[in-house]
Structure 1
Amino acid sequence: MITVLSDDTARLRATVDFVVEQDSESLLPLLLPGLDGPELRALVERCRFAHAALLVFPSHQGELDAVLAECGLSVDAPPQPSVVVRERLAVRHGRAAADLDVGILRPVVPGRDGSPRMVEVFALTVPPGSGLEAIAALERARHDEAHVAFEVPAPDPLVLRGLRACFDRYGAVPDGGGYNPHENGTVFYFAAPATAKAAYRRIELYAPGDHRDQLALHVREFRRLQPAETMLRLLTGAWTTQALNVFAQLRVADAMDTGRAVEAGALAEAVDADADTLTVLLRYLAMLGVVVEDGPGRFRLAPSGALLRGGDADSMRSLALMYGGPFYRSFGALAHTVRTGQVAFEHVFGAHHFDHFAGDPDLAGLFDRSMAASRRMFEPLPAHPVLSAAARAPHGATVVDVAGGNGELLGRVLAVHPGLRGVLVERPHVVEAARQRLDGERCAFVAGDFADVPSGGDVYLLSRILHDWDDDRCREILGHCARAMSADADLLLVERLLPTDSSPSLATAWDLHMRCNVGGRERTADHYARLLRDAGLTLVGHEPLPLEGHVLHARRTDPTPG
């Protein structure tokens, strides 16, 4: 009994601390990575963090009372039956629900801001010799019933549909639910996305009242996500890539609005498409949250779909055309890369992708624009301490962006720090495009390659360059930079970092892409540290950036110029 008591007490104490510290605005982005801005504000307005829950296993009521008291929790009412958790346990362990005595207690805990919250304690009574000890052991190890919950104060059908759609859009997967007649409340469970930063893997939306019509839709989606259905969704991923590619090709997003729905027929006329087939495409994209169908055949643009507009500053249209065009073709030969280790793009097109794109001005422009489409990764970079310190230099400082594309990153740095000067090193045709973007009075241009890195810079930038190449070429590139750098110069690398464990990461996906299409690879921080060391540089540290990027800071190992 002592072991059970201490284990449940420790888990309950940790839950209480979590409830006190969190609120909706801080917790939702942890559970749904990528959620920010207007959608985060909309969710905070429509659902509030209500409680965190866990399942404990007292042998009798007195033991449960002792656990609660030891954690400073008090309740006035006896436990209420838990229909939803009892049914879940029965299914999971193959037991009759009637054999499982599961109750709910909801002691109130004040949040850090003073607002009342609860710790939801599910208690499965496990009398000695009852045969339920194995269930308790498994549940303690797996934490299947631990979750965080958000209450929906005004749960009309439109709000519930919108909340469910938003959770789905950010990777939360329906995970069952139920209606509890004892308290007239409806529960919608979700599995948190694999990329969630919170320890809790399950999310509850609690809606007071009877909403079994919405629950039926939610449970139907949950049943669809069983293994066979999940595999079908994975196998049809190529359809999504091409649907987005066609949506971008036809410039459908440019003919739509986020605030007003338009008839599919009018859209078809505007983009020169077949009305019936365009409607089917739009309904497919509506399932993905790219557009919203407000009524039969009437669609408006969702915020994610607006990213595929051509003229917007944050447009990702070029990426859709690149991933659904040349890289889509070369990914069809992924088996060649896996079998041989050779680059599938070269196998399909007969040349390295840089050479292939350079021979086609339209493709070259598309590639450069697609690289700039991830500009959100750069947003915090101008505030990096190295650049801020360079900007404070009394006689000004120079930032050298090596292979800096069309100048997107360098332009951001110069805009934030008017005292800095810039140098862009790029291929001749790219330099000409960059001249149109960058201030010629504050920025010089070097038409060349990595061997032409100029000396005299105070800060050198290599943004998403090294992942294009194998280790030997990376050492060569870093060597050119090291030779150009003075003893006091700094080098900033922007790359995605592979995780050191099996945790999900965009870098893992890009590692496959780089090997198939480019001939490069993603790397861990330690791997980059070794490459830097081989080139006479030392990794000082690294910090996260948006879109799972990182900025790595390096300096010369040898303080004397070489």
Structure 2
Amino acid sequence: MPTEISGELPADGREATRYLIDEALGYVYPGALRAAASLGVADLLAGGPLTVAELAGRAGVHEAGLRRVLRVLATRGVFEELADGRFALTPVGQALRSDAPVSARPAVLMLTDTTLWRPAGEVELSLRRGGSVFEDLFGMSFFDYVAGNPQTAATFHTGMAAFSDQENELVAAAYDFPASGVVADVGGGHGGFLLEVLRRRPGLDGVLMDEEHVVAGHRLGAEDVKGRWRAVPGDFFREVPAGADVYVIKRVLHDWDDESCVTILRNCRRAMVPGGRVLVIDAVVPPGNEPHQAKAVDMILMTAVPGRERTEAEFAGLLAAAGLRMSRVVPTGTVVSIVEAVEP
């Protein structure tokens, strides 16, 4: 782990220099993590420890190089090098298995995909240019690139689903959804969050809205929600399904600039029934200097897409511009909060 800074630094600043050098090496770890995830190393170790030669043979890679990758990841607690030279999974590493109950593997592959990795390395260009550098690198916007590349689209949408899977249950439990009526999940991806809401509220019906190729991969076929949902392909910049009591917009607005966000919110405002609610579920960037995942994700957003993570005041401004009033912010025990909006 990087050197910890505590107390007064030496006059010559050597401790601070060592710390910053370790921080600059940080990009090595996600590179190694991506390799391990892509090769399925955690799956290979599911049955117990293996030698590097055994792992390399099964993965079809160079043995000496794999040892170096595993050694780096062992310093971060993903794998453990045993006294006899074999490597084993740690409790953290178990989450990298593709068959883990809540697998991190798709999210790791998404976050380290070249479509996010390359722009993240161009922060200086982003600062000089102002905004995303994705078009400089790929010749088109991020979402146009995803739409035209099925493999990238699959990586992105399965990654976002995995990103959300570890929080959906807690987020759904944190909010008092109505006992009956209709909840519409706008830009809801494969429907993992909507599924959790419907399971918790047997009297609710659901609408899943996203692009046609996205809703085609929905996960709402579970027997316990049969007959209580419908999938509606569409473009939330044009319109959203009308007549819902609650409109959920989860991990969507942070992808878009303010003007685009206001368009989405206005469409929800027009479509909801009188007395309806809009729930924006996104990270709310906290003030101060404490670490928060949203502050790191915001750097990815800055370089790859038009959007950003927002503060509570910024969300209030967006909602007001869309003809809504922020009524409260509900913590969920996860990275995201629920920003509730109602009619003024």
TM-score scaled by length of structure 1 = 0.56
Tell me if the contact between 1:400 and 1:457 (Cα under 8 Å) persists in the aligned partners: yes
| CA deviation after TM superposition for structure 1 residue 273, in Å | 1.5
Look up the equivalent residue of 2:170 and give its one-letter code: P
Residue aligning to 2:23? 234
Identity of aligned residues (%): 35
SS in 1 for 2:217: helix
Residue aligning to 1:333? 122
Residue aligning to 2:330? 543
Residue aligning to 1:381? 171
TM-superposition CA deviations, 1:347-396 (whole Å, max 9, x none): 21112211111111111111001111222222222224431xx12xxxx3
SS in 2 for 1:425: strand
Q: Distance in 2 between the 1:508 and 1:340 partners?
A: 20
Larger radius of gyration: 1
Tell me if the contact between 1:403 and 1:426 (Cα under 8 Å) persists in the aligned partners: yes
- Tell me which of 183, 190, 208 is aligned to 1:406: 190
Look up the equivalent residue of 1:358 and give its one-letter code: A
Q: 1:43-58, aligned counterparts within 5 Å? A: none
* 1:285 to 2:69 alignment: no
Residue aligning to 1:430? 214
* 1:454 to 2:227 alignment: no
- Tell me which of 50, 56, 71 is aligned to 1:262: 50
Residue aligning to 1:508? 295
Q: Distance in 2 between the 1:437 and 1:514 partners?
A: 32
Look up the equivalent residue of 2:297 and give its one-letter code: W
Q: How many residues align?
A: 333
Residue aligning to 1:371? 160
The two structures, once aligned, show a CA RMSD in angstroms of 2.1
- Tell me which of 62, 79, 87 is aligned to 1:299: 87
Stretches of 4+ aligned residues off by more than 3 angstroms: 435-440
* 1:311 to 2:95 alignment: no
Residue aligning to 1:529? 316
Q: Distance in 1 between the 2:189 and 2:117 partners?
A: 22
| CA deviation after TM superposition for structure 1 residue 436, in Å | 6.3
Residue aligning to 2:136? 347
Residue aligning to 1:442? 228
- Structure 2: any 5+ residue segments left out of the alignment? 8-13
User: Given the superposition, is the C-alpha separation of residues 299 and 513 from structure 1 closer, same or farther in structure 2, using an over 3 Å criterion?
Assistant: same
- Tell me which of 388, 394, 417 is aligned to 2:201: 417
| CA deviation after TM superposition for structure 1 residue 275, in Å | 1.7
| CA deviation after TM superposition for structure 1 residue 333, in Å | 2.5
Tell me if the contact between 1:538 and 1:556 (Cα under 8 Å) persists in the aligned partners: yes
Tell me if the contact between 2:120 and 2:299 (Cα under 8 Å) persists in the aligned partners: no
- Structure 1: any 5+ residue segments left out of the alignment? 1-167, 176-190, 192-200, 202-224, 558-562
TM-score scaled by length of structure 2 = 0.91
Look up the equivalent residue of 2:166 and give its one-letter code: R
Look up the equivalent residue of 2:216 and give its one-letter code: E
| CA deviation after TM superposition for structure 1 residue 174, in Å | 6.2
Tell me if the contact between 1:402 and 1:461 (Cα under 8 Å) persists in the aligned partners: yes
Tell me if the contact between 1:459 and 1:492 (Cα under 8 Å) persists in the aligned partners: yes
Q: Distance in 2 between the 1:352 and 1:433 partners?
A: 23
Q: Distance in 1 between the 2:228 and 2:122 partners?
A: 45
Look up the equivalent residue of 1:381 and give its one-letter code: V
Residue aligning to 2:61? 273
Look up the equivalent residue of 2:215 and give its one-letter code: V
User: Given the superposition, is the C-alpha separation of residues 384 and 491 from structure 1 closer, same or farther in structure 2, using an over 3 Å criterion?
Assistant: farther
Q: Distance in 1 between the 2:167 and 2:137 partners?
A: 31
| CA deviation after TM superposition for structure 1 residue 254, in Å | 0.7
Where is the strand percentage greater, Structure 1 or Structure 2? 1
